[in-house]
Amino acid sequence: MENRHADAQCLIVADGDVLIRNALAEYLRHCGYKVIEAANSDEVLTALRRGTASADAVLADAELAGSINAFELRIRLREEFPAITTVLAGSVDAAAKAAGQLCDDGPHLRRPYEPEKVVAHIKRLLAAVKRQAP
């Protein structure tokens, strides 16, 4: 098995909406990051406490679900993992913009599209689900 992440920086993308989470995570992987996906605050803490990875940053939805909310999560991370930067995003646009900034500052593997394209992609996916939902 190849080791894809020998020197890659690691991010945790935490969002309760699967389509947003998947899209942001894939975008950041394209930029060269190792990305862990978390659906709620408990999964973020599990990832870090169980030593799944030593993340450099957490990009979280400000309305993240879980036993603690996103703001409490940021406080908890600051206490337990002070080296980790936590970015809270209040909207899809803000999350994509934050991901774009991480790409600018990050590994620069490649950057095939702008954050606006990520938002447009997410909106198309959400609209498709809405159209097909019974």
The residues that touch other proteins, with contacts defined as CB under 8 A, are: 1-4, 18-19, 21-22, 25-26, 30, 36-39, 43, 46-47, 50, 52, 110, 112-114, 117, 120-121, 124-126, 128-129, 132-133
Owner of token pair 């990050």: 106
In order of 59, 73, 111, the CA distances from 45 in angstroms are 13, 8, 29
Of 82 and 102, the one with the shorter C-beta distance to other proteins is 102
Owner of token pair 């080791």: 3
Of 82 and 134, the one with the shorter C-beta distance to other proteins is 134
- In whole angstroms, how close is the CB of 54 to other proteins at the nearest point? 14
Which helix (H) or strand (E) is 65 found in, with range? Answer: none
